[in-house]
Amino acid sequence: MRIYKMTATFGKLEHETLTLEPGLNILQAPNEWGKSTWCAFLIAMLYGLDTRAKSTKTSLADKERYAPWSGSPMAGRIDLNWNGRDITIERKTRGRIPMGDFRAYETATGLDVPELTAQNCGQTLLGVEQSVFRRAGFIKLTDMPVTQDDALRRRLNDLVTTGDESGDGERLARELRELKNRCRYNRSGLIPQAEEERAALEGKLLELGDLETQSRKLKARLGEVNGWLRQLENHRTALDYAAAEDDAQRVAESRESWEQAEAHLAETEAACAKLPTREETERKLKELRAFREQWNAARMEDELLPDAPQPPEPPAPFGNMDMEHGAEMLRQDAARLVHVRTARPQLPFFLLAALCLIGGIALLVMKEYLFGGTAVFAAVLLLIFGFGRKNALRREGKALEEKYGSPDPADWEAALDSWRQDRKAYEAALLDHRVSRGDLDIRMTFLKKQRASLCGEQDPETVTAIWQQMMDKWEDYYAACREAQRAEKFLKTLQSMAKAVEKPAFPDELTYSNTDTARLVSDALAEQQRLLGRIGQYRGRMDALGDAGNLEKELLRVNGRIQRLEQTYEALTLALDTLGQAKKELQRRFAPRISRRAQELLKRLTRGRYDRLTLGEDLSLHAGAGEEGILREALWRSDGTIDQLYLALRLAVAEELTPNAPLVLDDALVRFDDDRLRAALEVLGEMAKEKQVILFTCQGREKGITQ
């Protein structure tokens, strides 16, 4: 198979095309250019994308890792030549399934290629499974070592042991193992199945015996329970018979009670014959009770009504004066007090007395004794009169202060105002009292009239008691009616409940009550049902197990089959052991072609330094240089030499397993020195004559060497 070009919308690739030539293609590009993405795209186009893979914390699933960065649906196309036919393969996203839509058609005509499907495309074109192609024809620096894989191991084993990749030996061994597994493998082999069948038959026979024994015990117990049930039913019949006799006695007693109730009803009916009707009596009592409530409430209100308010006592200075005369007196006394306190009536007398005294003295000096003495006497009289007038005014002011109890007229005004406020409060309280008293008097007048209408001259309590007695007679009558009805109903109920009951079938010796008997019968019936159910289950199980004679015959047949299978198993074991010995003999007789070809390639890649190489069963490599006496594992070599060891092996494997597939290398030669890189390119160039080789590299040495 040879690839012409690839067009991808895959990861960072957006409708980009990679064109390839026959032979060796060296594609040099820097890191993050998309080399690994093209490699992953080729795998996805040939073998499809695993949409079931899930991303983990350490790795991304391919469907997420290579989702187009642009957000476009994942899609791709490869134009190639296969068996001389130019074919185009297309895959694109279908719904939510990346690369879910597949088509393969002839490039020129557009006709479908039916032998290529989404599932077998890669294996049909390349001749190997995806895992084999990844390890044989797809070489990356990161996974240069060849690791174990069932498909790869099987193909390499066939090549190494027999030189034939057809797999006949492996297929024969597999068929023998499958036959052995069919005979004996865990619980699914024929022998384990037959042994299980034998164990089942033996178990059935044992179970049949146990079931038969248990059934006999259960039937014996069922007979005991049935006998106990007959005794309990007879006892219950005896109890019902005794209860029926008690019911007849209660019916007689109930009839007597009903007759007494009817007689009492007739007496109460006669007592009520001449009385007002019950409705009139109820109405009269209702009116009397309502009147009593109103009358008692009015009397209580009269008792609770406060006395008429008393007028406030006037202050002492005002006596029995009214408010206006008291205010006028206070105004005059206040003005008089102001006058008394501010008047100076003695000053003129003192001046005149001083003049008389001075004149008298002067006259006495002038020896006018008569006129001088008269003048002095007049001066003394004037002084006496002046002092007397002053004392009179002081006494008058003191009297006013004592009259009002305070020297300050403002206090007099306050006393008058307090009296005025008390008087107003009194008048308002008196008005409220008169209003309340007037409403109560009106109601008392109405109630007195209503009392006369209801009771006449009698006391309301007496009248109420009389009507209550009549009401009591009516209550006795209706109570007697209810009692007669109840007694009649009870009598009819007892009569309906009473029934004739047969005597017990045999003498009853049990002493249980009805409740205990019902419980015991219920328990016995429940046990009877359980026993019948268990017996039915055992019988059904025994029927399901089958007849014991038939089971014994089947057991003999199974034992014979097991014996024959054991003989077959021993024969298959002998055949498989013989085939294994033959395979080992073939391994000793045929040289491993893979090891020989890998050794030749390693010698060329290392310019003759390493000329010995062996491949272990686990695909591990051991190599040795010419001067070394022993072969060492690859881990003993340098990184570049390790790459060359595994490259030699991978190239040898690719030649044998993928002869028709392109060889893809992704940065596989970056750790080669210039000399060994030139040798590797020479080897790849020779291989490119037979198959297409695609070398991706991030460095320019490869192109420099090939130019």
- Counting residues of the chain whose pLDDT is more than 90, the rounded percentage is 22
SS3 297: helix
- Residue 433 within any structural domain of the chain: yes
Identify whether 83 is part of a domain. no
Within a domain: 333: yes
156, 159, 161, 163: CA torsion to nearest 10: 180
To which residue do tokens 């017990």 refer?
Answer: 504
CA atoms within 13 A on the CB side of 413: 7
Distance between CA atoms of residues 169 and 576, nearest Å = 11
In a domain, 165, yes or no: no
Per-residue pLDDT at 148: 43
Q: What does the pLDDT look like over 366-398, one tens digit per residue?
A: 877 677 777 777 777 766 666 666 666 677 778
Q: How far apart, in Å, are the Cα atoms of 409 and each of 334, 342, 406, 478?
A: 6, 15, 7, 86
**Helices of type H across 305-368:** 323-342, 346-365
Tell me whether residue 237 is in a domain. Answer: no
DSSP state of 662: P
Residue 57 sits at φ, ψ, to 5 deg, of: -65, -25
Output helix, strand, coil percentages for the chain, rounded to the nearest 5.
65, 10, 25
Q: What pLDDT does 695 receive?
A: 93
Structural domain total, the chain: 1
| pLDDT, tens digit, 9 for 90 and up, residues 324-348 | 777 788 788 778 777 777 765 555 6
Length of the chain: 707
Q: What is residue 685's predicted lDDT score, i.e. its pLDDT? A: 92
Least confident of 59-63, 228-232, 331-335: 331-335
3-state secondary structure of 43: helix
**Pairing outcome for strands 13-19 and 2-10:** antiparallel
Summarised one tens digit per residue, pLDDT across range 426-465 is 778 777 777 776 677 777 778 788 778 778 778 888 888 8
Q: What is the mean pLDDT of residues 640-656?
A: 80
Strand partners, 693: 24, 663
pTM tops 0.75: no
Query: Residue 254 above 80 pLDDT?
Result: yes
**What's the confidence (pLDDT) of residue 523?**
92
Tens digit of pLDDT for each residue in 160-176?
444 444 455 566 667 76
Q: Taking phi first (over 0 means left), then psi (-120 to 50 degrees means alpha), and beta for anything else, what does residue 26 get? A: beta
Contacts from 89-97 at CB under 8 Å and sequence distance 24+? 89/45, 89/46, 89/116, 89/121, 91/44, 91/45, 91/48, 91/118, 97/51
Q: pLDDT class for 247, splitting at 50, 70, 90?
A: confident
Give the sheet arrangement for strand 621-625, strand by strand.
Answer: 610-615, 621-625, 632-633
pLDDT of residue 639: 63
Tell me, rounded to whole angstroms, the distance of Cα 53 from its chain centroid: 33
296-323: pLDDT as tens digits: 887 787 777 667 777 777 777 777 777 7
What is the token pair recorded at 557? 């047949």
Contact predicate 634/645, CB 8 Å: yes
Instruction: Identify the domain containing residue 383 by its residue range.
Output: 316-444
591: left (phi over 0), alpha (psi -120 to 50) or beta: beta
> What is the pLDDT at residue 415?
78
Task: State phi, psi for 6 to the nearest 5 degrees.
Answer: -130, 135
The rounded distance, in Å, linking the Cα atoms of 663 and 123 is 15
Is the residue at 89 inside a domain?
no
Which is higher by pLDDT, 516 or 392? 516
Q: Given a cut of 70, is residue 636 above it in pLDDT?
A: no
The verdict on residue 408 lying in a domain is yes
pLDDT band at 705 (very low <50, low <70, confident <90, very high): confident
CA–CA dist 518, 541 (Å, integer): 34
311 assigned to some structural domain: no
